[in-house]
Structures are given as structure tokens and as C-alpha cells.
């Protein structure tokens, strides 16, 4: 069985789907790996390193994809509309694509894949269960994103993060609020604490309070807020969408805290839905000049009303960033983690050197978005 690793063509993407060290474990499954030339260059791995690890490196996309059973990527395959190679049209009929497919999913992508009878696994749909834990790429990449978000905020903030006692006086620590205490949020809290900031965390899931406090941060809560938002966690561990009255109470609550922060990092996303609004224009306008908002949900609509995905916005002296490439900023470790997730997926799917897509398996059923010529899910909702 042969699989192919494509070079990521997005201009901001530096990651690669497999590291050279992950070739050998796949060979043990009876898998021969092909790698597109230059795929690992921006993550710090040369073509020669892949060859030395046992991979076959191909310069030509057609030769790379010829008769492969499975194609590995990070971002969705490109359709050629941007002048780059049309990856969708080159995918072999009957093959399996494993990749993130949203947010940022091109319109009509699933239909195009199905028209070529390409089965596709969307890594962002991986269930958060014990069986699927090692395959959870959304969590591994969110951890990298949360870490990078704090470093980005620290470089943008015209103030120190830690408290400093100097001959020129004592400088108080920066006040950081992290909205959303999932994987990205908890990593952001931990990183901001390491840098010496005074950190507060917020999440509508009451179960997150203990995790936030365990990292040395303060959990934002008040009695009526807890009562209004009880049972806000879904069975899969994600936050559920709020009702209108709940959203109004949430925004009123956050409006009392957000303007006091030097840095606000937002990480709240709901799979398959636009990101919830947490930081309004009015909140930003009450923040002190020089303050920073880092919105990790930019690609799915943004948690901040003023965010624009991939752009930096200045509003009333406040800097709002909605980066779409944070895990790529630590490309080598992000790639290793993602490759570990993919290796676990292949170990789950490959038996006697062949792919087995068992639709009765809860993991396969959750992540398989196209199968043969059939689109099995509705396209992900877009942010506004």
C-alpha cells in the first residue's frame, strides 16, 4: 500500500503532514510513503532526510499521486482557482484523503471530492473519546496555537508581561483574560502565567473552572452567570451554542471584565457553526490604548466583532489580530504532533497492509465526510 504526502501550498503554511521520523512506523504497517519534493522544507526537513528515512521523494505531482491509496495533507486540497496546481483533480479515484477540511473549506470541495469518488476524512471531526485520543489533531494543533497566541500578544503589547521591580519603580504585571478554556485556551493560560502575567480565564462550561485554577489563573464567574449557563457542555466535551437570552447575559458579564484587560485572547469555537461573539466593538472601545486582542477563531467568523481573518486591525488604539497560521509558527513540533495523529489514524484503518473503512466504527463514521461518490455530511457553517 502506498500513500502520498503533499506539499502545503498555502502561503502561510509551514507544516507538513509527516516528519521523517514517522516514516518507519508506517513501514511496519506495510505502507510505503511518497513525499512531494520540498514538502518538509519550511518545517526544517530536507528531501534527503525523507529519503534517508525510507520515503520516495517525487518532484512531479502526477508521479507522486499515481495509484496511491491514501493522500495526507494539513489544509484542504486546492482546486487550482488561485493559480496553484489543482490537487483535487489529481487525486486518484477511489483513494482516501486525510486532512483538515474546515474552517476555510472551499465552496463545493466535498462535492468535488465525491465526483472523483475520493473518500475524505476530516480531522477536525475526530470525536473526543478515549479510543480517538491519539488521533485528535484538533487538540494537538490548538495547543500550539494557544502557545503562539501569547507570544504574539507579548510582542504586540507595549508593556511588560511580568511584574518588574526596578530602580525606576515597580511595574505591575499585565492583565490577561483568556476566553474559552479548551485546549488552546488552557495552553494560552499556562503560557501567559509562565511569562508572569496576571491571568483570568473564562468558559461557559463550569467544569473548566478547576482546570483554569489548576494553572494558577483566576476563573471569571458569578452566581447568576453559573445559573444561567448550566449544562453548557455537550457530550463531546465542547461548549454548546447559547440561546439568545443566555448570549445577552454572557455579553453583559464579559463587558464588566474585558475592558480592564491589557490582553484578551479568545479561543471559543463550536464545531460546524460560526464562532460565538464574545468581544463587542463597545468592549474594545473601552479598552486602554495599547491593549491587544488575539482572536483565534478568525477563520470561523471570529469571537471579536472587529476581527478580520488573517489581518491586523487598529481600533481606538487597540490592536486586534485574527491570525490563521499560529501552529505554523512552531512548524516542526506542530508537524510532529500532527504526524503522530495521522499515524494513529492509519494504525486504526490499516489491516494486513490495506485500508479498511468500517462505517460501523464510531470513529470512522464521525470523520468520514465523503465516501465513494456520496457526501455524508452538510458542509461546515461559515462565519459572518
pLDDT tier for residue 83 given thresholds of 50, 70 and 90: confident
Rg, the chain, Cα only: 22
- pLDDT tens readout for residues 5-49: 999 998 889 999 999 999 999 999 999 999 999 999 999 999 999
- Domain ranges for the chain, please list them: 2-136+331-375, 142-328
Of 207-221, 233-247, 369-383, which range is least confident?
233-247
Contact (CB, 8 A) for 1 and 354: yes
pTM of the model: 0.88
297 or 102: whose pLDDT is higher?
297
Catalytic residues: 128, 133, 136, 139, 238
pLDDT confidence of residue 354: 92
pLDDT tier for residue 361 given thresholds of 50, 70 and 90: very high
Architecture, CATH, for domain 142-328: 3-Layer(aba) Sandwich (3.40)
What H or E segment, with its residue span, contains residue 312?
strand 312-315
Topology given in CATH for the domain delimited by 2-136+331-375:
Rossmann fold (3.40.50)
Contact (CB, 8 A) for 215 and 171: no
pLDDT confidence of residue 90: 94
Tell me the HSE value of 228 on the side-chain side, using a 13 A CA sphere. Answer: 19
Region 135-148: mean pLDDT is 96
Region 293-322: mean pLDDT is 96
pLDDT tier for residue 236 given thresholds of 50, 70 and 90: low
Domains 2-136+331-375 and 142-328 share a fold: yes
Which grid cell is 81? 482557482
Q: What percent of the chain has pLDDT over 70?
A: 92
Residue 41, classed as helix, strand or coil, is: helix
Write down the mean pLDDT value for the chain. Answer: 91
Region 67-72: mean pLDDT is 97
In this model, does residue 228 exceed pLDDT 50? no
In this model, does residue 174 exceed pLDDT 70? yes
CA distance 294 to 303: 10
pLDDT confidence of residue 64: 96
Region 81-88: mean pLDDT is 80
Residue from 157, 153, 140, 136 nearest 189 by CA: 153
- pLDDT tens readout for residues 205-218: 888 999 999 999 99
Which grid cell is 222? 458569578
CA distance 199 to 173: 9
In this model, does residue 299 exceed pLDDT 90? no
Query: Which alpha helices (DSSP H) does 59-120 contain, by range?
Result: 61-65, 87-90, 109-115
pLDDT confidence of residue 269: 87
Amino acid at each position: 500500500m502506498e500513500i502520498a504526502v503533499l506539499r502545503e501550498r498555502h502561503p502561510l503554511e509551514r507544516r507538513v503532514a509527516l516528519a521523517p521520523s514517522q516514516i518507519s512506523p508506517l513501514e511496519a504497517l506495510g505502507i510505503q510513503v511518497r513525499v512531494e519534493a520540498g514538502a518538509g522544507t519550511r518545517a526544517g526537513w530536507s528531501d534527503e532526510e525523507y529519503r534517508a528515512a525510507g520515503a520516495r521523494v517525487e518532484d512531479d505531482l502526477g508521479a507522486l499521486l499515481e495509484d496511491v491509496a491514501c493522500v495526507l495533507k494539513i489544509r484542504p486540497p486546492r482546486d487550482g482557482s488561485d493559480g496553484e496546481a489543482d490537487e483535487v483533480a489529481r487525486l486518484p479515484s477511489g483513494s482516501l484523503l486525510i486532512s483538515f477540511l474546515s474552517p476555510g473549506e472551499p465552496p463545493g470541495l466535498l462535492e468535488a471530492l465525491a465526483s472523483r469518488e475520493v473518500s475524505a476524512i476530516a480531522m477536525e471531526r475526530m470525536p473526543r473519546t478515549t479510543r480517538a485520543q491519539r488521533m485528535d489533531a484538533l487538540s494537538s494543533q490548538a495547543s500550539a496555537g494557544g502557545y503562539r497566541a501569547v507570544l504574539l500578544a507579548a510582542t504586540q503589547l507595549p508593556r511588560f508581561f511580568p511584574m518588574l521591580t526596578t530602580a525606576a519603580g515597580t511595574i505591575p504585571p499585565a492583565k490577561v483574560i483568556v476566553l474559552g478554556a479548551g485546549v488552546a485556551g488552557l495552553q494560552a493560560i499556562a503560557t501567559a502565567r509562565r511569562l508572569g502575567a496576571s491571568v483570568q480565564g473564562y468558559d461557559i462550561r463550569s467544569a473548566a473552572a478547576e482546570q483554569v485554577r489548576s494553572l494558577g489563573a483566576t476563573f471569571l464567574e458569578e452566581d447568576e452567570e453559573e445559573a444561567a449557563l448550566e449544562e453548557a457542555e455537550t457530550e463531546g466535551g465542547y461548549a454548546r451554542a447559547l440561546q439568545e437570552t443566555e448570549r445577552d447575559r454572557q455579553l453583559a458579564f464579559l463587558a464588566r471584565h474585558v475592558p480592564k484587560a491589557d490582553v484578551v485572547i479568545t479561543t471559543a469555537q463550536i464545531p460546524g457553526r460560526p464562532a460565538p461573539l464574545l468581544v463587542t466593538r463597545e468592549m474594545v472601545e473601552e479598552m486602554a490604548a495599547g491593549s491587544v486582542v488575539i482572536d483565534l477563531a478568525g477563520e470561523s467568523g471570529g469571537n471579536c466583532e472587529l476581527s478580520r481573518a488573517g489581518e491586523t486591525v487598529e481600533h481606538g488604539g487597540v490592536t486586534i489580530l485574527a491570525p490563521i497560521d499560529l501552529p505554523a509558527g512552531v512548524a516542526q513540533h506542530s508537524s510532529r504532533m500532527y504526524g503522530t495523529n495521522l499515524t494513529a489514524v492509519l494504525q486504526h484503518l490499516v489491516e494486513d497492509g490495506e485500508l479498511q473503512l468500517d462505517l460501523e466504527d464510531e470513529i470512522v463514521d464521525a470523520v468520514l465526510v465523503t465516501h465513494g461518490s456520496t457526501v455524508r455530511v452538510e458542509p461546515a457553517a461559515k462565519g459572518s
